[in-house]
Structure 1
């Protein structure tokens, strides 16, 4: 096995990539990586007095998520929407399991390949360019599925049936994601519209909606952890970094775009309806 972008079998061609998500990643990932660190996701801090550096805080959150997969050597994990591969590589290193990462972005997959090579886990990590709603894998292919801040790019009613299909009986789904404390309404939709556009997001749902849709496809809730208080400082820290390096941003992105990105992240950090969770579910029935 290698970290090449493995082509899908001819009998199950990949779903065409989502251009908005690809464009959003290509636009923002270099910026965020430069001022945030290699893990392009939230960080985890114990509380307001915790001054852990950003890179260590994001690695801490990755570890909290990966340890819930419940796999070891011989296990097989699907990283759904693997991006530049940080979580996939961490999973391979920490668990010894085989990891398959899927994403629609070829540039992100190239980054993931380099990350796996650098970490010495190229023989454990396979990368496939395909849409998460149309994966080429047979039923029951995985002991665990990881969705690390990727579920907002999909309608859960479409994503969860595919995940259930891919999981073996008693297999685990681990999701780390933002969610809403109240259902989406027109006013909230207007307030988060710019963030949805910048990140190519599709939807955000309440925790109860996640629970209901999991039950509908035969996945039993095993753990729900509200980590909002621990990740809340992520975007305020990112915004501070962006403002600190504003001249560099303006030279590379232009003044208007630098302002738009900084303002959008700052506004997102102040949305009171927004929360964050780690969710674990187990496949108990056929989908």
Structure 2
């Protein structure tokens, strides 16, 4: 701005000798004013220059040749603002890749174990319920032996037979899910060993913990189903004994109704 003022004094003073000098001074003043405006714009819009190449070209067109030569290094330097920092390259050694793969295997094995455990526990629970229902029907029949009409006895036996079929179906379902569960147990044991050998101790520990939890749950529900099977066997033995007693009582009653003359020996 001081240069602008000095040029203004030169234009109004006695240093101008003629029309040519006056026009030259006016042109210099215009160039200086334009340069000052561009410098101020560059100062205010530095952030824009760092992100927009369009604005850079517009500003450079407004600058004179001398100013352009000085502005070019600035524009190149401002372009460096968008260059990201180099990220650290991850370790891609064979050991690290094997360790990661073993962790993925243990995750998949744990998922497979979880699903098969839930399926087996649910199947064993339904099997135990079916057994208890059959036990209840058997006991009801035992208490009513000799008190039912043939039609009523046939009806209750149809229900008992249907319940026995359901128990058989539930047992087959348990065997099918137990086979999948045993496969999951074997896979988890192998994956835990692989994780330990590869250095992924945390994955190995987590898999072994899941194995213990799954085995304890299945063992708990198995005890319930085994107790139900034991009660059903006891109920069947009681039914056989009760039927034998009832049959013997019928035979004795029939013998009492036979006339004495038919019982004497010749």
Could you say which structure has the larger radius of gyration? 2
If each structure's strand is expressed as a fraction of its own residues, which one has the higher value?
1
Q: Normalising to structure 2: TM-score of the pair?
A: 0.22
Q: Normalising to structure 1: TM-score of the pair?
A: 0.21
If each structure's helix is expressed as a fraction of its own residues, which one has the higher value?
2
